[in-house]
């Protein structure tokens, strides 16, 4: 029958796992991770594979002008705004097999399960791939596809963003569209009823508590900065200390001073990371004349994001050691609480399926953040091994992945209605 749980019962754990295995081959690394940078050949191949998997169902697959991909299962009322579910296919430079792709594959599995259960929903349900979620892995802009979809970022601004080799998003998107000529064009920004994103937790809490499902209540805030230090190249053997403008020496002092202030936090709530550090010319016999580094700073309290984040610039200026320093803020996202619609439906689904669950705030950023501008949004977390993510060692169990897909299937049926 079509009672509660009939969609969940059709989730196929082995099929869902195999799809992860197949996807992990696209950009797979020798150490068992994945390197699939936004809109690179592997990221395009991931879209191709999804489109091919959708074919037997006759579901329409389309792509918009920023490369977001949609797979649509019709409803009984196709004028009704669809419910969207998905995540991203791009990864960190040495990323794992689950961050992003799980949310896409769970959404597709949920649609297959709903189909297998013979359930006809009123609203269409769509699996979505958002382009370039991983800010700075290739292009220095995160949640790009979802940000363009909701109007946070004008399409032209996104297209102008260049990667570290100078290739623009515009060039990369045009190449992706040329490589997938059979996919019809979709206009981004269409109205939607709700958005749900399944994701590995990327932290240790669910594993520690022995629970399979996180009902995500919100996402902590973040500020990102790029610090540029301009000194002067000089000879390492001949240049006296007083004549040096050593950009690396200044950068090291800045990072030490910043850590002292940001890590003065007994509750261990502040997240402060210098993740990218570029020294030029990076030669043993040259006093380094130029350094650029990034700061990733996150906190659940916007007041702290402001008060601490605003200290980045003065701390850097105070440690410039005769060099010139400029501090650019490259991103700022406020802490966000999801409206109750999706978390409520996720909670009910987990409860109805008898799965251990808890409410949890996300430490990582996600497309569900920007998406809430367009419609009520929310997320489902499943545990990952030792809480490790953004690393090749990322791991999760087939059973936990399937549990999340079951909760997602029931949540989508609830949100799409009968
Ligand atoms: C994106 O994955 C982020 O939270 O860094
Ligand atoms: Mn992710
Ligand atoms: Mn990520
Ligand atoms: Mn993320």
297-316: pLDDT as tens digits = 999 999 999 999 999 999 99
Position 154 in a domain: yes
Position 1 in a domain: no
User: Separation of 377 CA from ligand 2 center, angstroms?
Assistant: 15
Residues 124 and 164 reside in one and the same domain: yes
Q: Which band of pLDDT confidence, cut at 50, 70 and 90, is reported for residue 398?
A: very high
Kindly tell me if the per-residue pLDDT of 2 is higher than 50.
Answer: no
> Which one, of 128, 147, 89, 109, lies nearest residue 19 by Cα?
109
The per-residue pLDDT for range 8-50, each reduced to its tens digit, is: 999 999 999 999 999 999 999 999 999 999 999 999 999 999 9
Residues 265 and 363 reside in one and the same domain: no
| Phi and psi, residue 85, nearest 5° | -145, 140
Position 362 in a domain: yes
Kindly tell me if the per-residue pLDDT of 1 is higher than 50.
Answer: no
Assess contact for 413 and 345: CB atoms under 8 A. Answer: no
* 365 close to ligand 1 (CB < 6 Angstrom): yes
Position 265 in a domain: yes
The per-residue pLDDT for range 153-180, each reduced to its tens digit, is: 999 999 999 999 999 999 999 999 999 9
Position 126 in a domain: yes
User: Separation of 368 CA from ligand 4 center, angstroms?
Assistant: 10
Prediction pTM value: 0.97
Residues 345 and 294 reside in one and the same domain: no
What is the DSSP code (8-state) at residue 120?
-
Q: Within 13 Å, how many C-alpha atoms sit on residue 164's CB side?
A: 10
Q: What is the mean pLDDT of residues 225-249?
A: 98
Position 274 in a domain: yes
User: Separation of 365 CA from ligand 1 center, angstroms?
Assistant: 5
* Closest C-alpha residue for ligand 1 atom 3: 365
Structurally, the chain folds into a number of domains equal to 2
User: Known binder of ligand: residue 390?
Assistant: yes
Put residue 143 in one of left, alpha, beta given phi > 0 → left and psi -120 to 50 → alpha.
left
Residues 242 and 391 reside in one and the same domain: no
User: Known binder of ligand: residue 199?
Assistant: yes
Residues 201 and 125 reside in one and the same domain: yes
Residues 54 and 185 reside in one and the same domain: yes
Range of the domain at 147: 6-220+335-416
Kindly tell me if the per-residue pLDDT of 227 is higher than 80.
Answer: yes
> 224: which strand partners?
296, 331
Residues 305 and 344 reside in one and the same domain: no
Residues 253 and 343 reside in one and the same domain: no
Ligand lying nearest the CA atom of residue 389: 3
Kindly tell me if the per-residue pLDDT of 359 is higher than 90.
Answer: yes
Residues 74 and 165 reside in one and the same domain: yes
Cα torsion for 135, 376, 152, 67, to the nearest 10°?
Answer: 60
Residues 62 and 139 reside in one and the same domain: yes
Of 333, 364, 382, which closes a domain? Answer: 333
Q: What is the mean pLDDT of the chain?
A: 98
Per-residue burial over 258-292, b if 16 or more Cβ lie within 10 Å, else e, is beeebeeeeeeebbbebeeeebeeeeeeebbbbbb
Position 244 in a domain: yes
Ligand lying nearest the CA atom of residue 87: 2
User: Separation of 390 CA from ligand 2 center, angstroms?
Assistant: 9
Of 333, 353, 369, which closes a domain? Answer: 333
In the numeric block, which tokens belong to residue 275? 């993740």
Nearest atom in ligand 1 to 365's CA: 4
Angle value at C-alpha 389, between 291 and 30, nearest 5 degrees: 85
Kindly tell me if the per-residue pLDDT of 3 is higher than 90.
Answer: no
Position 360 in a domain: yes
Residues 142 and 234 reside in one and the same domain: no
Nearest atom in ligand 1 to 142's CA: 1
User: Known binder of ligand: residue 88?
Assistant: yes
User: Separation of 401 CA from ligand 2 center, angstroms?
Assistant: 15
* 364 close to ligand 1 (CB < 6 Angstrom): yes
Report the first-to-last Cα separation within the chain, whole angstroms. 13
Residues 143 and 278 reside in one and the same domain: no
Q: What is the domain-level CATH number for residue 323? A: 3.30.70.360
ipTM here: 0.91
Q: What is the domain-level CATH number for residue 367? A: 3.40.630.10
Nearest atom in ligand 1 to 92's CA: 2
Of 301, 333, 365, which closes a domain? Answer: 333
């Amino acid at each position: 029958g079509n009672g509660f749980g009939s969609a969940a019962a059709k989730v196929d754990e082995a099929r869902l796992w195999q799809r992860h295995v197949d996807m992990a081959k696209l950009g797979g690394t020798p150490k068992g991770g994945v390197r699939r940078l936004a809109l690179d050949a592997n990221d395009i191949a991931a879209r191709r594979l999804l489109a091919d998997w959708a074919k037997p169902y006759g579901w329409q697959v389309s792509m918009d002008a920023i490369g977001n991909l949609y797979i649509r299962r019709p409803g009984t009322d196709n004028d009704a705004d669809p419910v969207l579910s998905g995540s991203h296919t791009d990864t960190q430079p040495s990323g794992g097999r689950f961050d992003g792709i799980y949310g896409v594959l769970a959404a597709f599995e949920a649609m297959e399960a709903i189909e297998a259960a013979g359930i006809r929903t009123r609203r269409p349900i769509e699996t979505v791939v958002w382009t370039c979620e991983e800010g700075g892995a290739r292009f220095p802009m995160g949640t790009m596809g979802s940000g363009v979809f909701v109007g946070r970022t004008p399409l032209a601004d996104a297209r102008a963003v260049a990667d570290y080799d100078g290739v623009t998003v515009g060039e990369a998107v045009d190449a992706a569209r040329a490589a997938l000529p059979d996919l019809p064009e979709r206009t981004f920004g269409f109205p939607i009823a709700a958005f749900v994103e399944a994701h590995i937790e990327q932290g240790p809490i669910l594993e520690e508590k022995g629970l399979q499902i996180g009902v995500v209540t919100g996402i902590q805030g973040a500020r990102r900065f790029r610090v540029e230090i301009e000194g002067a190249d000089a000879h390492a053997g001949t240049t006296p200390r007083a004549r040096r403008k050593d950009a690396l020496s200044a950068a090291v002092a800045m990072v030490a001073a910043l850590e002292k202030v940001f890590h003065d936090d007994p509750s261990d709530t502040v997240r402060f990371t210098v993740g990218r550090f570029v020294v030029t010319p990076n030669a043993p016999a040259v006093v380094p004349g130029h350094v650029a580094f990034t700061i990733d700073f996150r906190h659940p309290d916007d007041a702290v994001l402001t008060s601490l984040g605003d200290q980045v610039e003065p701390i850097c200026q105070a440690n410039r050691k005769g060099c010139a320093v400029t501090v650019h803020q490259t991103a700022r996202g406020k802490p966000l609480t999801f409206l109750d619609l999706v978390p409520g439906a996720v909670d009910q689904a987990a409860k109805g399926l008898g799965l251990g669950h808890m409410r949890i705030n996300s430490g990582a950023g996600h497309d569900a953040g920007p998406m809430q501008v367009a419609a009520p949004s929310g997320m489902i977390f499943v545990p990952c091994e030792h809480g490790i993510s953004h690393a090749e060692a990322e791991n999760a169990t087939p059973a936990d992945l399937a549990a999340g897909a079951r909760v997602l299937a029931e949540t989508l049926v609830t949100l799409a209605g009968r």
